[in-house]
Each structure stands twice: as structure tokens, then as C-alpha cells.
Amino acid sequence: MKLPVIKHLTQFIEENDEDFVIETIETLEALTEVPSLKDEELDVIGELISNMYGAVEVNKMIKDGTPKKEALNAFMKRVMGSIDN
């Protein structure tokens, strides 16, 4: 996951609508079922999906009242904590 990408997607959600990102996630998940995709292509799609889910999660924290910067930092700390374990 890349914080700049999640931050950009979070801004996109604020300016537009979370539904666009949710529908894109669903589309990308459907693409992962194409049998002819190479591992590298699946990795790229997976990274995009991860960043989009991250932005959706950050957006939920913002909606719950967490300031944007704190929400981004808290999310990345949680991600890094899960990687370390």
C-alpha cells in the first residue's frame, strides 16, 4: 500500500462519491478471474485493490470524525503493525 495513492483516492472520494471506488474495486476483483492474466498483472491489480480498500477505510474514519491526517496515519500504522506481526 502506498500512502500517497490512498491520500489521492481519499481526496477523490471526498470530491465525488465512495460508490465510484467501490464499483471499481468490484470490477478489478472480477478481472482477477481472467485465467490468462500473468502473475505480474495480478500483482498490479491486487495493489490497486488494496489501495482502494485503504481509501475507503480512511474515508470511514473521516466520516466518524477523525481528522484526515490522523485517519491516514492511523490506517498506515495499523497496516504496518499487521505486516510486522
- Kindly state the average pLDDT of the residues 9-17: 96
Print burial letters for 46-74: b (CB count within 10 Å at least 16), e (below 16). Answer: eebbbbbbbbbbbbebbeeebeeeebbee
Range in 14-18, 40-44, 71-75, 76-80 with the lowest mean pLDDT:
76-80
- In the chain, the percentage of residues whose pLDDT exceeds 90 is 85
Residue 12: pLDDT band (50, 70, 90) is: very high
Cell of 27: 470490477
